[in-house]
Chain A
Amino acid sequence: MNTAIKQIKGLCAPMMIDDIDTDIIIPAQYLTQTSKDGYGQYAFSRLKQADADFVLNQQKYQTAKILIAGDNFGCGSSREHAVWAIQELGFQAIIAPSFADIFSNNARKNGLVLIDQPLEICELLAAAAQQNDLIISIDLVNAVFKTDQQTFPFVINPFFQHCITEGQDELDYLCSHLSEIKAHHQNAKGQTIFLAGAGVAQ
């Protein structure tokens, strides 16, 4: 079991850049580590170095828990390190117009909440987060998030909702089907799977 999370509440940081790729989130040179932690210090390092005013360099956003981002966030490589790095910065949720597929899968498996919202809403939230301290409260059970003025519904994957709000571990769920999976593999051998030399070629 994982820790059940039903609500996330925190300060928002605006990063309205489209197509933030995983090389930007965590450059490949830092991927030789074999642990799941230690990546936060390198997260977004290229943007941090290039621009002193970059959102994550600003003191006021150091405690932010929710990132407001641009379209196609997390495109590029499959590195889960990108999710680990973002979580280590203290972020628990990202609101953006869209996310890349592998990044979404990786986020889900680590309990990082991704919320799709139309571009206009993301821009509105980002502007608000830039002007004042924007606090958002995300209700995962009812799939809505609130600012102090407005409530926004969002679409949540029902399985992810179940896992995060109940503390269900995905791997435990998958393993509950292990005997069915094993039988399925067995039946496929020689029928649809033809790996003759499996295990011998090196």
Chain B
Amino acid sequence: MKNNIVEKIWQQHVVHRQAGFPDVLRIDFALLHEVTSAQAFAMIERKNLSVQNPEHFLATIDHSIPTRKNRHEIYDKTAKNQIELLRKNCQNHGIPLCDLDSSHQGIVHVVGPELGITQPGMTLVCGDSHTATHGAFGSLAFGIGTSTLAHVFAAGAILMKQPKVMRVHFNGQLPANTYAKDMIMYLIAQIGIGGATGHVIEYTGEAVTALSMEQRMTLCNMSIECGAIAGLVAPDETTFAYIKDRPYAPKGQQWETAKSYWQSLSSDAGCRYDQTIELDITDLQPQVSWGTNPEQSIAINQVIPFSNKTKESLDYVKLKSAQSIAGLTIDWAFVGSCTNGRIEDLRVVADILAGHKIAKQVTMYIVPGSEQVMHQAQKEGLDTIFTEAGAEFRMPGCSMCLGMNDDKVPPGSRCISSTNRNFIGRQGTGSITHLASPATVAFSALAGFITSSYAEQQPQKEAS
């Protein structure tokens, strides 16, 4: 029997199967954060249930914390209360917490891989839709709601129907100045935000194999933006090299046992997929979103398409069809988030910003994905490059990706952002978001308008 990687992982984790019922699926690890966990703890406490295997959980604080230096002072009372409740819940149930003073605090999807928690073949869940990030390691990782988190707490398993599997094969190699972010945005634009609903995506192709772990995480991270349950990449030497010697990684003889198991997970040649999509990226251009969902994206040298279904989106972002995306004046630039807040992303941005100044009217926030990323950036002197260019290098957290803390794009302002969603008001009420790679964000911040190179062209005149 030839199996794809998802089927292999699934079979390893099915505890109980009954016709007409969802499978009882073993969950190997759950990550949690302050926003979606409180009610789950309350649910199990109400039933007098305890957390199974608390050592297979890890909590961090990321969504609602400030990113200013004195972040211990949280002015928002309800946010402060939510964080204190997470501390209390973790203490009561024996779950380790990467608190603000931990050297491992950070965005949940940056911290897990950094600690070596995320490993091939495991099932990993989190009350966050960007959990697919961990699929970069060949794990089956997906977002769950709060009730399902309560199930994982109490049972170490969930109820779930086996998902369909979609293969997304990228043909060709990634051209210069394009990144995994451009690959995934291109895919989403092609198949739409509901294009992979009900499916787990396996990403394949030479261009995928050539990606670093950081880039694979970006690729998998946005799987949810085309509706996929999860996205993953088969583990290989790049994966193993990243995991080796991290705190949770197996050591000694266990490492060898683990590695040979992980190597067996790749999809068998000739296995079946429910759907296959092939995309040629030989001529891929940097991608930029123009509308109010991630499917509304184009290459930077294209114009906004005409459609009678996008009037509301265009009104909201104050743009018109047939208008170019390049040259559009921006007020804000943001680098960070679980999509693009890792050290490699910061290096790309530093390379571009070094020796230049960002445009006068632009406010640029660079928010590292974790304490580890922040310290590494400081060690490499990237922080100095950022500050000298006129950007603010802030403390780790989700920050301006979803506007749950003080970091908000003001109403009516236009922001180019390395994040994952350009939904209405996502970065703050009335904010306008253009998603792009960190490189495009950096070039645009320098120019003061959307561009993917050191600008020679002029900004567009204000739309009349």
Q: Tell which of B147, B249, B425 touches A23, judged by Cβ atoms closer than 8 Å.
A: B425
Whether B26 pairs with A195 at a CB distance below 8 angstroms is no
Which listed residue, A29, A101, A185, touches B53 by the CB 8 Å rule? A185
B119 touching A31, Cβ below 8 Å:
no
User: Which residues does chain A contribute within 8 Å of B55, judged by CB atoms?
Assistant: 195, 198-199
Q: Is the CB of B154 within 8 A of A194?
A: no
- By the criterion CB–CB under 8 Å, are A31 and B157 in contact? no
**CB < 8 Å neighbour of B78 from A33, A174, A200:** A33
Chain B residues positioned under 8 Å from A191 (CB to CB): 261
Contact of B147 among A27, A109, A159 (CB under 8 A): A109
Which residue among A72, A159, A193 has the maximum number of chain B CB atoms within 10 Å of its CB? Answer: A193
Q: A25-44: which have CB < 8 Å to B?
A: 27-29, 31-36
Give the distance in Å from the alpha carbon of A177 to the alpha carbon of B52 in the complex: 13
The answer, yes or no, to whether B429 is at the interface (CB within 8 Å) is: yes
Give per-residue flags for A180-202: 1 if the beta carbon is below 8 A from chain B beta carbons, else 0. 11101100101111111111111
B279 lies within 8 A of chain A by Cβ:
no
Closest to A78 in B: B143
Q: How many residues of A contact B (CB 8 A)?
A: 60
Q: How far is the CB of B401 from chain A (nearest CB, A)?
A: 9
B197 touches which of A72, A158, A174, A199 (Cβ 8 Å)? A72
Q: Is the CB of A101 within 8 A of B229?
A: yes
Question: Are B309 and A201 in contact (CB-based, < 8 A)?
Answer: no
By a CB distance below 8 angstroms, the chain B residues around A76 are 129, 224, 421, 423
Shortest distance from the beta carbon of A73 to any chain B beta carbon, whole Å: 10
A contact residues around B115 at 8 Å (CB): 197, 201
Give the complex CA separation of A188 and B412 in angstroms: 53
Residues of A contacting B122 in the complex (Cβ-Cβ under 8 angstroms)? 192-193
Q: Does B12 contact A (CB under 8 A)?
A: yes
Interface residues of B in 397-447 (CB under 8 A from A): 402-404, 421, 423-426, 429
B263 within 8 A of A: no
A192 to B49, CA, bound (A): 27
Report chain B residues within 8 Å CB of A158: 20-21
Are A32 and B78 in contact (CB-based, < 8 A)?
yes
**Which residues of B sit under 8 angstroms from A192, Cβ to Cβ?**
12, 121-122, 261
Q: Is the CB of A32 within 8 A of B15?
A: no
B226 CB → nearest A CB, Å: 10
When the two chains form their complex, are residues B36 and A79 in contact, meaning their CB atoms are under 8 A apart?
A: yes
* From A98, A109, A195, contact of B117 by CB (8 A): A195
Known A-B contacts A180-B15, A192-B12; the reply to A23 vs B429 at CB < 8 A is: no
Alpha-carbon separation in the docked complex, A178 to B42 (Å)? 20
Cβ proximity bits B20-31 to A, threshold 8 Å, 1 near / 0 not: 111010101100
Q: Are A78 and B145 in contact (CB under 8 A)?
A: yes
Residues of A within 8 A of B247 (CB): 196-197, 200-201
Asked whether A105 and B144 contact (CB < 8 A) given A195-B119, A196-B250, the answer is yes
A23 close to B424 (CB less than 8 A) = yes
Write 16 A-B pairs (CB below 8 A) sorted by A numbering: A24-B424, A27-B429, A32-B64, A34-B38, A72-B194, A78-B128, A98-B194, A109-B147, A158-B20, A159-B22, A170-B151, A175-B154, A197-B115, A197-B248, A198-B56, A202-B98
- State the A residues within 8 Å of B (CB): 18-19, 21, 23-24, 27-29, 31-36, 46, 71-72, 75-80, 83, 98, 100-102, 105-106, 109-110, 158-159, 170-171, 173-175, 177-178, 180-182, 184-185, 188, 190-202
Known A28-B63, A195-B117, A200-B247; 20 more pairs at CB < 8 Å: A24-B424, A34-B85, A78-B127, A78-B128, A78-B145, A80-B39, A100-B197, A158-B20, A171-B151, A177-B15, A180-B16, A182-B156, A184-B15, A192-B122, A194-B250, A194-B261, A195-B119, A196-B254, A197-B116, A202-B96
